[in-house]
Structure 1
Amino acid sequence: MARPARETAGLLDTELDGLPPELRWREWMTRVEAIIFAAPEPVTRELLSQIVGRDCSIDLLIEDIANELAARPYEIVAVAGGWQFRTRRRQAEVLKAAFGGTTTGADLTEGEMLVLASIAYHQPVTRAALSGVLGREVSRDVIGHLRRLDMIASGPRSPQPGAPYTYVTTRRFLEHFGLDTLRDLPDLETLEDAGLFSRATVGPEYAMADEEENVDLSG
């Protein structure tokens, strides 16, 4: 007896027991690709599990879709705990030539990028601590701009006197830089070798915090 489709999927038949295995898998692939293609933000595993069978492996579906897209100028990437279509990096110059400037949409100065990177590597961190790390005052205006861009959010209160707010990066930060979790941040040696960062800027020690504890994903 065929299992009924899950109630969470409404009238959608998620199990597809009436199809042979190969066609069933192909239909699940099509559904997953369609959802990720249409979604304006990374699609979570929880959402995808609502449109495929109970025993279907989301990871294997994604892998098969990615293999089929190998020759295309776009790909499915793991971003901010979900999946999203992204244009391949090798197309960056083409897109820049066609549309001009950058295609990321965030308006960040070099100084703001430095503050954002320092927050990413030190979070949760107070504004005063950031000023100490960078060797200059980090203004409230810079913090406010990064908050308006949804790159950072308030973290837990610091145990320091006065219990100042700390700052953490957000899901939007992960999305913008194409990171799945904070563990995907490049190490400082890589940034230094590329001439993009100085170890002296962010200090000799930095902690790679667990994203589930230190990243405010609610925005």
Structure 2
Amino acid sequence: MTLDAVSKILQAVLLACGKAMTVEQLIAIFGLEDGVNHEQVVQALQTLRVALEGSALELVQVASGFRVQVRAEFGPYVSRLWEERPQKYSRALLETLALIAYRQPITRGEIEDIRGVAVSTQIIRTLQEREWVRIAGHRDVPGRPALLVTTRLFLDAFGLKRLSDLPSLAALRDLDQINAELNLTEAGQNEQNGLMMAKDAQPHDDFQVEEHE
């Protein structure tokens, strides 16, 4: 099977799938008779990324693998296909998520100390229901408070391959700027009917999937 044929198959699979897939998952799409190996899939992904340049779609690598998504500039038009308005999140929730992202592992009490106000149970529950945050253990202090960390789905939702791709905290002046950099206010628009829409996520030059919990 030619590299071009493999590339087109990968494009079709990723478009139909509507979510990120690892190289191993993509290899499994092919049968033994196709004779497609790991190196060919990686090369085909590189070919696909180049082929999509100049189109409304792009291939990006996030924590869970590779996905084909609509470029950011076309997001506002695509979103008009759905009547419901994108979910809006409160400032308190966005600040809490930003603090978890940058200070993890962090306890609810530590978040409250930084923000200067109580963090409602509903905020933590919402973040867990979105599967952006999980409990990674407990602090070894009286009461053993839960340690909160972000998840692989958090990275996927914000177009990140790894936590080190977060904007430098030293370069951000306040939580408003953090929220703007992460596009937290528009996170609900990133996934609609299985077709991903970019939020300033840029393709990575390397094609090595990073594993995250």
Q: TM-score, normalised by structure 1?
A: 0.70
SS at match of 1:43: coil
CA gap of 1:55–1:99, structure 2 versus 1, over 3 A, is: closer
1:144 aligns with 2:164: no
Q: Over aligned residue pairs, what C-alpha RMSD do you find?
A: 2.7
Identity %: 26
Equivalent position to 1:90, from 52, 73, 93: 73
Structure 2: which amino acid aligns with 1:147? Q
Structure 2 unmatched runs, 5+: 180-209
Structure 1 unmatched runs, 5+: 1-15, 17-23, 199-210
Equivalent position to 2:50, from 67, 73, 91: 67
Q: Is the 8 A contact 1:120 1:168 kept in 2?
A: yes
1:45 aligns with 2:33: no
SS at match of 1:163: coil
Paired residues for 1:100-115 under 5 Å: 106-115=87-96
Q: Is the 8 A contact 2:27 2:38 kept in 1?
A: no
Paired residues for 1:149-168 under 5 Å: 149-168=130-149
1:126 aligns with 2:107: yes
1:34 aligns with 2:17: no
Q: Is the 8 A contact 1:106 1:149 kept in 2?
A: no
SS at match of 1:168: strand
Structure 1 residue 82, shift from structure 2 partner:
0.4
Structure 1 residue 162, shift from structure 2 partner:
2.6
Q: Is the 8 A contact 1:36 1:43 kept in 2?
A: yes
Q: Determine which structure has more spread, i.e. the larger CA radius of gyration.
A: 1
Structure 1: which amino acid aligns with 2:12? A
Paired positions, count = 178
Structure 1: which amino acid aligns with 2:6? W
Structure 1: which amino acid aligns with 2:11? E
Higher relative contact order, structure no. (Cα contacts within 8 Å, ≥ 6 residues apart)? 2
CA gap of 1:42–1:92, structure 2 versus 1, over 3 A, is: same
Q: Whole-Å Cα distance in 1 between the matches of residues 138 and 6 of structure 2?
A: 45
Q: Which shows bigger deviation, 187-196 or 151-160?
A: 187-196
Q: TM-score, normalised by structure 2?
A: 0.72
